[in-house]
Amino acid sequence: MEKPVTGTRKVFMTGNETVAWAALAAEADIMFGYPITPQNEIMHYWTRLGAKYDRGFLQTEDEISAGFTVCGAIIAGKKAFTATAGPGNTLMQEPFSMAEAMRLPIVAIIQQRGGPSSGTVIYSQQEVTLTTYGGNGEGHRIVYSTASHQELYDYTIKAFNTAWKYRFPTFVLGDGYQAKMREPLEMYDPEARNLEIIKPSPMVGLPGQIGIDREPQHLCNIYSLEEELYDVVLKVQAEYDGIIPELVEYECRECDDAEILVVSHGVVSRSTDDAVMALRSQGIKVGAFRPITLRPFPSQKLREILRSGVKKMLVVESAYGQLVRLLKQEIYGETVPIETLLMPGVGIIDADIISKVKSLIQ
């Protein structure tokens, strides 16, 4: 069968369409989903493209079911994924927890909308806490926060690879703006860039006769003894801690001599970049730090930057302190004062950041 993307192609499309193409390029086999704005078009494109490239789709009865059908398909050995937002993300924390516990490489695209509750169907960065630490677990997840369509393409492909390599639930955290807007990007065939696509493997329905060639698989998720669970969680934690250095990703801009460090993630970091450029041109020593992985958080790098002469840190987000909380726990002990620009559920532009930074130096 013809590859969905060959060579490199410049395109101009929405973020949701981008995700569908990236999932195809990542060799995803099947999607399970339930309609919720602003992620719907991922399903719309997937169902059309999937028919052409022989990939599966099922619209389930709700998000709980979408998450658990993904789990079932993954147990059976197929690259399955889902996409959701807001209240759907809340419902999916149950299957995400199971994926965390059973080490199922679930991939979910989260297009954040306004909250709490149904909030708006438009935009926010209010699903950071839920996506990084939702569920009744320890946050054994990997979360990529993207800032552009190019990154939506790159990190959706990467999410499948990360998930299947490390077997932790992996999230691409976008938002309504990224979902709905059109902007240019380059789509490419991963192979053409020597990017290896990791193959899936089944946990059940393995070859060989049970009792003769192999033992049956008994996949466990609940334990009779506290000590059993304790051992399992500590083992998973150790594994997670071990891969942090391989996983963390971040971006620094003008950090070397920065006296004010602006920390933001996702689409807001675009405004931060513009603000930093504008402020630098006025001679203000400001820099930008952007965690790309929110879980695991690039705390070591951030600590290094903070210790290199930063006098104040400004955290900017379209939520009321979700990034701030994440960051505080990650850099506990650092003494640089934290200022904030918190605008839950609305977009933040460079001018907002510029005036806030200026107010800090007066």
Partner 1 sequence: MTQPVMPKTWYVPSKPHKFCPGCGHPLILKALGEAVDELGIQNQTIYGCDIGCSLLSWNFFAMDSTQTHHGRTTPVMVGMKRARPELICVGYMGDGGGYSIGSQHLVNSAIRNEKVTLILANNTNYAMTGGQLAPTTLPGQKTETTPFGRDPALTGNPTMGPEMISSITGDGAYVARGTVAKYRQLKGFIKKALQNQMEGNGFSFVEALSTCPTNWRTNAKQTWSWLEDEMGSFYPVGELKSPFRKED
Partner 2 sequence: MGLVRVALAGEGGQGVQSVAEIMAEAAYDEGLQAIYIPNFGLEQRGGVSIAFLQVSDRRIGAPKFNKADVVVALSQRAMIRTHTYSGPDTIFVYDSSFEVGEGDLPSQYKMALDMPAVEKSRELNTRVFNVIIMGAILELTNMIPVQAARSALERKLGYKFEKNPELREMNFKAIEIGQALVQNKLKGGEKVCASSM
Burial class (CB in 10 A: 0-12, 13-18, 19+), 194: exposed
| Chosen residue from 64, 102, 278, 343 binding partner 2 by CB under 8 A | 278
340 is a contact residue toward partner 1 (CB under 8 A): no
Residue the block writes with tokens 């970049």 = 273
Query: Which one, 10 or 218, has the nearer CB to partner 1?
Result: 218
Among 257, 273, 269, 266, CA closest to 305: 257
Distance of CA 56 to the CA centre of its chain: 23
> Least distance to partner 1 from the beta carbon of 72, Å?
3
Residue type at 80?
A
211 is a contact residue toward partner 1 (CB under 8 A): yes
Would you put residue 140 in left (φ > 0), alpha (ψ -120 to 50) or beta? beta
First to last CA, the chain: 63
Instruction: Using alpha carbons, list the distances in angstroms from residue 92 to 25, 36, 233, 269, 284.
Output: 25, 12, 21, 27, 44
90 is a contact residue toward partner 2 (CB under 8 A): no
> Least distance to partner 1 from the beta carbon of 211, Å?
6
Instruction: Using alpha carbons, list the distances in angstroms from residue 63 to 34, 59, 68, 254, 323.
Output: 6, 9, 9, 42, 25
| Chosen residue from 24, 109, 122, 310 binding partner 2 by CB under 8 A | 122
9 is a contact residue toward partner 2 (CB under 8 A): no
Partner interacting with residue 270 (select from partner 2, partner 1, none; CB below 5-8 Å by kind): partner 2
Partner interacting with residue 349 (select from partner 2, partner 1, none; CB below 5-8 Å by kind): partner 2
> Least distance to partner 1 from the beta carbon of 138, Å?
18
28 is a contact residue toward partner 1 (CB under 8 A): no
Segment interacting with partner 1, rule: CB under 8 A, options 109-117, 200-208, 230-238, 324-332: 200-208
For residues 265 and 290, is the Cβ–Cβ distance under 8 A?
Answer: yes
Strands 170-175 and 107-112: parallel
CA–CA separation, 171 and 139 (whole Å): 12
145 is a contact residue toward partner 1 (CB under 8 A): no
Segment interacting with partner 1, rule: CB under 8 A, options 199-207, 312-320, 327-335, 354-362: 199-207
Strands 56-59 and 182-188: unpaired
> Least distance to partner 2 from the beta carbon of 1, Å?
28
206 is a contact residue toward partner 1 (CB under 8 A): yes
How many residues does this entry show for the chain? 362
Cα atoms in the Cβ-side hemisphere of radius 13 Å centred on 323: 33
Would you put residue 310 in left (φ > 0), alpha (ψ -120 to 50) or beta? beta
| Chosen residue from 91, 267, 305, 323 binding partner 2 by CB under 8 A | 267
174 is a contact residue toward partner 1 (CB under 8 A): no
Interacting positions 70-99 with partner 1 (CB under 8 A): 70-78, 80, 94-95, 98
Segment interacting with partner 1, rule: CB under 8 A, options 29-37, 40-48, 116-124, 126-134: 29-37
Q: Which residues bind partner 1 (CB under 8 A)?
A: 29-30, 32, 56, 58, 60-62, 64-65, 67-78, 80, 94-95, 98, 102, 202-206, 208-211, 216-222
Q: Which residues bind partner 2 (CB under 8 A)?
A: 12, 37-38, 121-122, 176-178, 180-184, 267-268, 270-271, 273-274, 278, 347-352
